[in-house]
Amino acid sequence: MADSQHQSIPTHPIAPRVKEHQKKPHVGPDILGYRDHHGKTFGEGSNEWWAPIVSPTDRPRDSTGIVRSRLFVLVASRMETSSGSPKVASTPHTTALTDGLIPTPIRFAFLPSYYPSVDQRFSFGDHGVGQCRQSQRPEPLYTIPPPLHSTTFCHEITNFNRPQSSTKPMNRAKAAKSPPLSFSANYGIKKGDTVSVYMPMTWHAVATFLACARIGAIHSVVFAGFSSESLRDRIKDCKSRVLITSDESRRGGKAIATKAIVDAALKECPEVEHVLVQRRTGNTVAWTEGRDKWWHEETLKVPNYCPPEVMSSEDPLFILYTSGSTGKPKGVVHTTAGYLLGAALTVKYVFDVHPEDKFACMADVGWITGHTYIVYGPLLNGVTTTVFESTPVYPTPSRYWQVVEKHQITHFYTAPTAIRLLRRLGEHHTQAHDLSTVRVLGSVGEPINPEAWDWYNEHVGKRQCAIVDTWWQTETGSIMITPFPGAIETKPGSATVPFFGIEPVILDPVSGEVLEGNSVEGILCIRNPWPSIARTVWKDNNRYLDTYMRPYPGFFYTGDGAARDEHGYIWIKGRVDDVINVSGHRLSTAEIESALILHRGVAETAVIGVSDDLTGQTVYAFVTLKPEFTYNPNDEGSLAKELILQVRKVIGPFAAPKKIIIVPDLPKTRSGKIMRRIMRKISAGEGDQLGDLSTLADPSVVDAIKAKVATSP
Ligand code: WT7
């Protein structure tokens, strides 16, 4: 039965380049124990791990044909849905060691759960680890050798001199005697304090993450495309006293006035006492004596060795702000052990990394993808990571492929938007470069359309690579649904199957009931907690519960719709809440609406996402004006520009609406609720399929909107 089901899956050839590598030793953390769906146990060592996965007939499926895999590394206990945060049991002590600015051994130890309601299935006592007691100081279970760590930096055009960092092995005994890092000592930052970071894509950003982790400071990285107002709100929310930034940044050939944005933000943040400034372009920037300090001067003053802070597994590692259904962004909190475990394991198994590999994730460090797959994941596995500054098309659409060729990249991870853009610009760019080192191609951030998938496979992968379409979120910390390279057959457009230990469920949107079996569609939720689940919203646990735990009690709510097809494969259908996904960037309609309403002329506004061939979705803003506001109706263009500027100023350039549509009125129900559905339909060119309009207070607005959309530039 299982066999015939398996046969009927339309398969893509298992990537030959990945296959060659599978027998070679892996790097990174060893799995402590693994039991597959049939209860068969596998011991330490990653080679054995492949056995059940690689053999197609053995692949675990449950009675309905759903593919399941389970990894027993951490012990997950119960998820408390209304009274508290989910509890994921992990190590009482995790020590992250990172030497100075470049990381050296990172050691973890994971213990079985000490929570009472441990499910037997999650025990890994078979391998001796279960004998550890909470009170014992655990022996590190694995150590990542220091020489493997390195970072590749791809700077934009101007070849920036890479500062020398000491690669000499440290005399630890001697080093331990030196005074603690003065960054921490002078700035008074201690374990548990927050440090805000607003930096471009240079190695300094990676060093900043690791330096914070080293001293137990909680970093809050703000994507450098956010405006000063957004930065200000995020600094204020987590009350940082220290901010790390740069003089300027470069993007697509333009200089960006990073420090000036910071200065504007800090006008309203008197609590920030120290600003550490990395010199990126060297252009003159405004300076606040006493507060601002140059990175290159300050780092000369500190000793080479800084003793690591000992952290508990549940101590926060970082905060990352993300948008949701409401106007105010949430500070999602990730922890030391759980998050890092998720980062390490997913890089290891989703990307099948081996020694000497060179990992290139093209995201920005300011988003979760950069946190997990530029910084922590690859470095935890001891593989080289790449910091790419620039855009895929600057100075030419060959930029990515030049990087792949020059740095012999083995893993390339990007968003469908970039793939669609490069596909449009022609194959000759990929043909001009040697891409033969690449084995695994990753896609993340939005659903990938089959045309883009095929192009990626054909022109970048040359049909030799595995493509992993990875679904996850800021809140999940690491990849949740994904194929395993060379082991799970792929279907272009499907994120395929859950990662080990992840239990996705599809719920009926109305009843909230679990839709069992295959060929179902509904709301995507997750049944049990996993190591890297976000633990809370910074200083607002109730909001965390409201957002993720209460919509469908008993489950973690993702905000995505999904289908499970006849083979048990999962297809992500996009957001079901008021979140828009533009180029893999998550935008909240409520946030954009709040930005627009601040304009003196705006009375009301409704923001919607409209599908776009290139960026996945794009932002349309419908606006009504205050009666007393006067403007030239023959020049709506300049008012639209003003409003776009308003959004750029309040949120950041990446959130700018593509269209501003000024309308006499918004479609509303008699009770005053804005009917976004009508604007969505009209904008999608489906104005003739509006359905039931009987609840509309004033049906004549529909024609006015249709006319405006039709003529809007
Ligand atoms: C949302 C999360 C962590 C990834 C970067 C964005 C969408 C993410 C996929 C995928 C379809 C995807 C979802 C999700 N998404 N990956 N492979 N296929 N959709 O992180 O900003 O937290 O956004 O991105 O809608 O909910 P994020």
Beta carbon of 103 within 6 Å of any ligand 1 atom: no
State residue 356 phi and psi, 5-degree precision.
Answer: 75, -5
Beta carbon of 368 within 6 Å of any ligand 1 atom: yes
Residues in the chain: 713
How large a percentage of the chain has pLDDT more than 70?
74
* 28 C-alpha to ligand 1 centroid (Å): 26
Specify the ligand 1 atom closest to the Cα of 470.
17
Residues 6+ apart with CB under 8 A from 686: none
Does the pLDDT at position 659 exceed 80?
yes
* 374 C-alpha to ligand 1 centroid (Å): 17
Closest C-alpha residue for ligand 1 atom 23: 473
Does the pLDDT at position 621 exceed 90?
yes
Beta carbon of 474 within 6 Å of any ligand 1 atom: yes
Choose which residue among 374, 417, 446 to substitute to test ligand 1 binding: the one with the highest number of ligand atoms within 8 A of its C-beta: 446
Beta carbon of 322 within 6 Å of any ligand 1 atom: yes
Beta carbon of 305 within 6 Å of any ligand 1 atom: no
**What does the mean pLDDT of the chain come to?**
77
The answer to whether 336 touches 600, Cβ cutoff 8 Å, is no
Beta carbon of 548 within 6 Å of any ligand 1 atom: no
Q: For residues 354 and 22, what is the distance between their CA atoms, to the nearest angstrom?
A: 9
Beta carbon of 495 within 6 Å of any ligand 1 atom: yes
Q: Which amino acid is at 54?
A: V
Does the pLDDT at position 405 exceed 60?
yes
* 613 C-alpha to ligand 1 centroid (Å): 17
Beta carbon of 471 within 6 Å of any ligand 1 atom: yes
Least trusted range by pLDDT, from 103-107, 305-309, 687-691 = 103-107
- The band of 160, judged by pLDDT with boundaries at 50, 70 and 90, is very low
What pLDDT is recorded for position 535?
86
Beta carbon of 586 within 6 Å of any ligand 1 atom: yes
Q: For residues 101 and 170, what is the distance between their CA atoms, to the nearest angstrom?
A: 13
Q: For residues 95 and 220, what is the distance between their CA atoms, to the nearest angstrom?
A: 20
Does the pLDDT at position 653 exceed 80?
yes
* 702 C-alpha to ligand 1 centroid (Å): 33
Look up residue 414 and give its DSSP letter: E
Residues 6+ apart with CB under 8 A from 372: 339, 342, 343, 346, 477, 478
Specify the ligand 1 atom closest to the Cα of 482.
17
Beta carbon of 227 within 6 Å of any ligand 1 atom: no
What pLDDT is recorded for position 489?
81
pTM metric for this prediction: 0.81
What pLDDT is recorded for position 53?
28
Residue-wise pLDDT tens digits, 86-97: 333 332 222 222
Beta carbon of 452 within 6 Å of any ligand 1 atom: no
How large a percentage of the chain has pLDDT more than 90?
51
Residue-wise pLDDT tens digits, 287-337: 999 999 999 998 888 877 777 777 666 789 999 999 887 778 999 999 887
State residue 67 phi and psi, 5-degree precision.
Answer: -75, 130
Closest C-alpha residue for ligand 1 atom 20: 473
Of residues 352 and 235, which shows the higher confidence score? Answer: 235
What pLDDT is recorded for position 474?
97
Does the pLDDT at position 106 exceed 60?
no
What pLDDT is recorded for position 25?
66
Of residues 28 and 310, which shows the higher confidence score? Answer: 310
Of residues 37 and 152, which shows the higher confidence score? Answer: 152
- The band of 12, judged by pLDDT with boundaries at 50, 70 and 90, is low
* 585 C-alpha to ligand 1 centroid (Å): 8
- The band of 98, judged by pLDDT with boundaries at 50, 70 and 90, is very low
DSSP H or E stretch at residue 298: helix 295-298
Least trusted range by pLDDT, from 49-58, 197-206, 698-707 = 49-58
Closest C-alpha residue for ligand 1 atom 5: 445
What pLDDT is recorded for position 13?
60
- In whole angstroms, how large is the CA radius of gyration of the chain? 25
Of residues 354 and 55, which shows the higher confidence score? Answer: 354
Mean pLDDT across 121-141: 24
Does the pLDDT at position 120 exceed 90?
no
* 266 C-alpha to ligand 1 centroid (Å): 31
Nearest to 267 by CA among 232, 301, 241, 242: 232
Pick the most confident of 27-31, 131-135, 436-440: 436-440
Pick the most confident of 142-146, 168-172, 229-233: 229-233
Does the pLDDT at position 602 exceed 70?
yes
Does the pLDDT at position 125 exceed 90?
no
* 472 C-alpha to ligand 1 centroid (Å): 5
Does the pLDDT at position 531 exceed 80?
no
Residue-wise pLDDT tens digits, 202-261: 888 988 998 888 788 999 999 999 999 999 999 999 999 999 999 999 888 899 999 999
Closest C-alpha residue for ligand 1 atom 2: 473
The answer to whether 277 touches 291, Cβ cutoff 8 Å, is no
Look up residue 461 and give its DSSP letter: S
Beta carbon of 208 within 6 Å of any ligand 1 atom: no
Give the ipTM: 0.99
Residue-wise pLDDT tens digits, 626-651: 999 998 888 899 999 999 999 999 99
Q: For residues 251 and 75, what is the distance between their CA atoms, to the nearest angstrom?
A: 43
* 373 C-alpha to ligand 1 centroid (Å): 14
Of residues 550 and 502, which shows the higher confidence score? Answer: 550
Q: For residues 67 and 57, what is the distance between their CA atoms, to the nearest angstrom?
A: 11
The answer to whether 77 touches 117, Cβ cutoff 8 Å, is yes
What pLDDT is recorded for position 313?
67
What pLDDT is recorded for position 515?
96
